[in-house]
Amino acid sequence: MATEHEFDVVIVGAGGAGMRAALESSQRAKTAVITKLYPTRSHTGAAQGGMAAALANVEDDNAEWHTFDTIKGGDYLVDQDAAEILCNEAIDAVLDLEKMGLPFNRTPEGRVDQRRFGGHTRNHGEAAVRRACYAADRTGHMILQTLYQQCIKQEVEFFNEFYVLDLILDGDPQAAGEDGEVAAAGVVAYSLQTGEVHTFRAKSVIFATGGAGKVFKTTSNAHTLTGDGMGIALRAGIPLEDMEFFQFHPTGLAGLGILLSEAARGEGGILRNSEGERFMERYAPTIKDLAPRDMVARAMANEVREGRGCGPHKDYVLLDLTHLEPSHIDEKLPDITEFARTYLGVEPYTEPVPVYPTAHYAMGGIPTNVQGEVLRDNTHVVKGLYAAGECACVSVHGANRLGTNSLLDINVFGRRAGIAAAEYAVATAETPALPADASAQIEGLVASLRETVGGEGTERVAQIRKELQETMDRNVQVFRTAESLAEAHAVVKDLQERYKAIAIHDRGTRFNTDLLEAIELGFLLELSEVVIAGAEARKESRGGHYREDFPTRDDENFMQHTMAYKRADGTVDLDWKPVVVTKYQPMERKY
């Protein structure tokens, strides 16, 4: 029988979003944080460049310009009310972190220093502005550490190395209709250490499980970013929004995907092709190398496609930092230059670094309103269910996230979700009861996977994952066409079939990572299908989604979000949801 726990608020995930929510929630209600990694291992710690806020510490700036940049950067698919909140609350979000002790870099006057970042401009696109608050090139590391430290101070209760595998709802989100009510009841988790299944009964549940970069092969994301939260929500009948929008970061270490922050270009780094040309001058004459990521990534892929790539296979371009002072590099970009040295053996002081776009960020995710409440359709919320961070889609990033807006997102909406979840829990007298068989499904799943050990299953988890990731890289990356998507779709369908015949190796109970990799692959397979389905339906090019067969943006038909539902029979259905427009009418995105 599963071990049972009861809390007011259960937070799934201890990255930036999860811990920011926990700091709020734990002050107001009995809170547990369940995380499959030790909190400090979360991938927020990998974020490098900075966190945007119009502090105006070094240059004239304001939240309205920031809002505009966010909306334009997101290719007008941004919900503008949410973007306004994001940018207005940004300033306090940064100041809050500073007050919690975050060691930001400082200006000579002792204020939080700021630097340039792609797509962030002064006065609606006039010139690049210094808006990103940073701590060398380890801003995310500092955020994660600072939040964890505050959680220690507040004695937040963590369940480390617990994998949440199921969400229990009171009611069926797809059958509830207009007046029905659906509420969160709790989650089911698997303890890596003991192999036991635990149930957590709760009035509020917050998902903050991060991204899903591992659907691709070349990615800046951690091995553990397998989109569990999104997958669990989808299986529970909740739609996923805008999943076709995946950000490919221009400067991943070639072949490895390890990220070199945009800060490298913010500090003056230049992209060059095999002819040594600063090719971004052709694609974005005004802000050149600091154009939004989707444009730079496409430009790079295009250079390679047209034969101007570098290296023996002509399959990457170069990031040139050699004209920068070594001392400046050491001060502002110490870690990423270290990556180039360690993994490629390249000395950035004197040699340009091979780079190529890498799958980086999921713009889409679990749809929420600005309070972090999860939507079960275009308008209705699931009571007591919240999502924040990369796994959520408030839609502040639209079709393309601006650099440094995600660390902002996790702080602003993590905080909002934490407050809202706790307040809801406090206002709700009764903790919904968990059905007696709440844990049965996961116990069954675990048991059936254990039984595949030594059975007749012929398929290997690693092999299927590899084929999936290669297909996604080949067909669903920077350039997409109807054919490439159809091919990917077929492959994914086939892999889903083959997944049913997998056999794992480890039947043990303690630290059975073999078993969990198999479960994680299940999420990846489902999410890939949603990504592809959205990409097929979106017959236009917008932000991170570029269809070679439909190379322009089509506001007439597609200025709306996709909502993907998984039906009981396993098929994925798409619906559309309007974009919230307040002040800014779509115009062409030129830089």
Ligand X SMILES: Cc1cc2nc3c(=O)[nH]c(=O)nc-3n(C[C@H](O)[C@H](O)[C@H](O)COP(=O)(O)OP(=O)(O)OC[C@H]3O[C@@H](n4cnc5c(N)ncnc54)[C@H](O)[C@@H]3O)c2cc1C
Asked if 509 interacts with another protein (CB under 8 A), we say yes
* Catalytically annotated residue among 293, 298, 415, 538: 293
Instruction: Figure out which of the listed residues 108, 177, 307, 570 binds another protein, where binding follows CB under 8 A.
Output: 108
Rounded Cα gap, residues 107 and 55, in angstroms? 12
- In the bound state with ligand X, the residue whose beta carbon lies nearer, of 66 and 547, is 66
463 binds, among another protein, ligand X, none (CB under 5 to 8 A by kind): another protein
Pull the structure tokens for residue 65: 């310009």
- From the CB of 143, what's the least distance to ligand X, in Å? 8
Segment contacting ligand X by CB under 6 A, of 16-24, 66-74, 103-111, 147-155: 16-24
| Interface of this chain with ligand X, residues 41 to 60, rule: CB under 6 A | 42-44, 46-51
Torsion of CA 44, 50, 55, 61, to 10 degrees: -130
- From the CB of 370, what's the least distance to another protein, in Å? 13
315 closest CA partner among 329, 305, 325: 305
Asked if 307 interacts with another protein (CB under 8 A), we say no
User: What is the three-class DSSP state of 255?
Assistant: coil
- In the bound state with another protein, the residue whose beta carbon lies nearer, of 493 and 510, is 510
Segment contacting ligand X by CB under 6 A, of 208-216, 234-242, 303-311, 537-545: 208-216
| Interface of this chain with ligand X, residues 355 to 414, rule: CB under 6 A | 360-361, 389-391, 403-407, 410
141 binds, among another protein, ligand X, none (CB under 5 to 8 A by kind): another protein
Residue 94 neighbours by CB under 8 Å, 6+ apart: 51, 53, 55, 104, 112, 133
| Interface of this chain with another protein, residues 522 to 581, rule: CB under 8 A | none
| Interface of this chain with ligand X, residues 242 to 281, rule: CB under 6 A | 259, 261
Residue 440 neighbours by CB under 8 Å, 6+ apart: none
Asked if 477 interacts with ligand X (CB under 6 A), we say no
The binding track of 85-104 with respect to another protein, each residue x by CB under 8 A or -, is ---xx--x--xx-xxxx-xx
Assess contact for 72 and 589: CB atoms under 8 A.
yes
- In the bound state with ligand X, the residue whose beta carbon lies nearer, of 515 and 559, is 515
521 binds, among ligand X, another protein, none (CB under 5 to 8 A by kind): none
401 among known catalytic residues? no
Burial 145-162 (b: 16+ CB within 10 A, else e): bbbbebbeeeebebbbbb
| Interface of this chain with another protein, residues 340 to 369, rule: CB under 8 A | 342-343, 345, 354
Assess contact for 574 and 564: CB atoms under 8 A.
yes
* Cross-strand partners of 6: 201
Asked if 520 interacts with another protein (CB under 8 A), we say no
Assess contact for 555 and 500: CB atoms under 8 A.
no
User: What is the three-class DSSP state of 394?
Assistant: coil
| Interface of this chain with another protein, residues 8 to 67, rule: CB under 8 A | 23-24, 27, 37-38, 40-43, 45-46
Q: How many C-beta atoms lie closer than 10 Å to residue 191's C-beta?
A: 18
Asked if 226 interacts with another protein (CB under 8 A), we say no
| Eight-class DSSP state of 499 | H
Pull the structure tokens for residue 386: 């919240």
Pull the structure tokens for residue 129: 């502005």
Residue with tokens 């460049």: 49
Residue with tokens 């049913």: 500
Segment contacting another protein by CB under 8 A, of 122-130, 164-172, 214-222, 562-570: 214-222
**The residue type at 9:** V
Instruction: Figure out which of the listed residues 56, 58, 81, 111 binds another protein, where binding follows CB under 8 A.
Output: 111
Residue with tokens 């270290």: 338
Asked if 73 interacts with ligand X (CB under 6 A), we say no
Burial 462-492 (b: 16+ CB within 10 A, else e): eebbebbbebbbebbbbbbeeebbebbbebb
Assess contact for 412 and 89: CB atoms under 8 A.
yes
Q: Where are the beta strands (DSSP E) in 316-468?
A: 317-320, 353-362, 366-367, 373-375, 381-387, 392-393
508 binds, among ligand X, another protein, none (CB under 5 to 8 A by kind): another protein
Rounded Cα gap, residues 144 and 35, in angstroms? 14
172 binds, among ligand X, another protein, none (CB under 5 to 8 A by kind): none
- In the bound state with ligand X, the residue whose beta carbon lies nearer, of 336 and 491, is 336
Residue 464 neighbours by CB under 8 Å, 6+ apart: 495, 498, 499, 502, 521, 525
Q: What are phi and psi of 416, to 5 degrees?
A: -60, -45
- From the CB of 168, what's the least distance to another protein, in Å? 27
Instruction: Figure out which of the listed residues 81, 335, 459, 554 binds another protein, where binding follows CB under 8 A.
Output: 335
**The residue type at 487:** E
Nearest residue to ligand X, scored by beta-carbon proximity: 15
Asked if 141 interacts with another protein (CB under 8 A), we say yes
- In the bound state with another protein, the residue whose beta carbon lies nearer, of 149 and 371, is 149
| Interface of this chain with another protein, residues 160 to 199, rule: CB under 8 A | 193
Asked if 315 interacts with another protein (CB under 8 A), we say yes
Assess contact for 257 and 561: CB atoms under 8 A.
no
Asked if 164 interacts with ligand X (CB under 6 A), we say yes
Q: Annotated active-site positions, please?
A: 293
Would you tell me which residues interact with ligand X (CB under 6 A)?
A: 12-18, 34-37, 42-44, 46-51, 139-140, 163-164, 208-211, 220-221, 225, 228-229, 259, 261, 360-361, 389-391, 403-407, 410
